[in-house]
Amino acid sequence: MTDILDIRGISKSFGALKASDDISLTLKSGEIHALIGPNGAGKSTLINQIAGGLKPDSGSVHFSGQDITSLAAPARARLGLGRTFQISQLAPEMTVLQNAVFGALGADGRVSRFWRPVMKDRSLLEVARSALERVGLNHRAGERVSEISHGERRQLEVAVALTQKPKAFLMDEPMAGLGHGGSERLTGFLRELKQEAPILLVEHDMDAVFALADRVSVLVYGRIIATGTADEIRTNPLVREAYLGDEEEHA
């Protein structure tokens, strides 16, 4: 398997706090690599630096063999680095279809498109509808986002990211707030999706992580303390002490 993403020695401090402390990790084609860790461990900070929203103090990010460390987020997205967010970026007063079309428009990259009625643009509509169909939301295309359920919004976020035809996905807590049924559906979908675009997944739902991830990295106080398969991570004494053991005590 080739490395689609190669993060080398990323460090980032906020004042005296080292939120990322010499982090290296890879994302290989065909895999889901989950990033887990306690609250405040630095997961979102790391994802932001990979997506281009935050500049690392040192270290580099390579994507498909290209050094993208100095590129801004939109340029990274255009190269095929897709992203879903912890906090919804959807426009609540627009319909499901309009949100997906605007996602597709973002990927299109031609500013001239803004001067045409985008909701009549066949190629954009086709991309948007096919993304909605893939996540099982086509039947809700005409609803306003404010009227659909939380789980459907999460599905729509994935659909919007799909319209950008990513080569790799960064996903920040896609299961958050989903009920058991919702997270099972999304789990099944992510398992299919990883075949065409590998996924770096930040997730608190441990059942989902252990069911889905080909590899898991554990982040504690800005450092990766272990990377391995779900079984290796579950039985790793360092991880149990620093993280999982702690969870069980509170269970």
Ligand X SMILES: Nc1ncnc2c1ncn2[C@@H]1O[C@H](COP(=O)(O)OP(=O)(O)OP(=O)(O)O)[C@@H](O)[C@H]1O
State in angstroms the smallest separation of the CB of 249 from ligand X.
19
- Dihedral, CA atoms, 49, 185, 215, 234, nearest 10 degrees? 120
Per CB under 6 A, which of residues 30..59 are in contact with ligand X?
37, 39-45
Q: Which is nearer to ligand X, 44 or 99 (CB)?
A: 44
Residue 26 within binding range of ligand X, rule CB under 6 A: no
Residue 183 within binding range of ligand X, rule CB under 6 A: no
Q: Which is nearer to ligand X, 44 or 69 (CB)?
A: 44
Q: Which is nearer to ligand X, 42 or 174 (CB)?
A: 42
Q: CB pairs under 8 A, 24+ apart, for 137-145? A: 137/96, 140/96, 141/95, 141/96, 141/97, 141/100, 142/95, 142/96, 142/97, 143/95, 143/96, 144/92, 144/93, 144/94, 144/95, 144/96, 145/90, 145/91, 145/92, 145/93, 145/94, 145/95, 145/96, 145/99
Q: Which is nearer to ligand X, 108 or 203 (CB)?
A: 203
- Considering only 1, 2, 9, 17, the residue that binds ligand X (CB under 6 A) is 17
State in angstroms the smallest separation of the CB of 20 from ligand X.
8
What residues line the site for ligand X (CB under 6 A)?
14, 17, 19, 37, 39-45
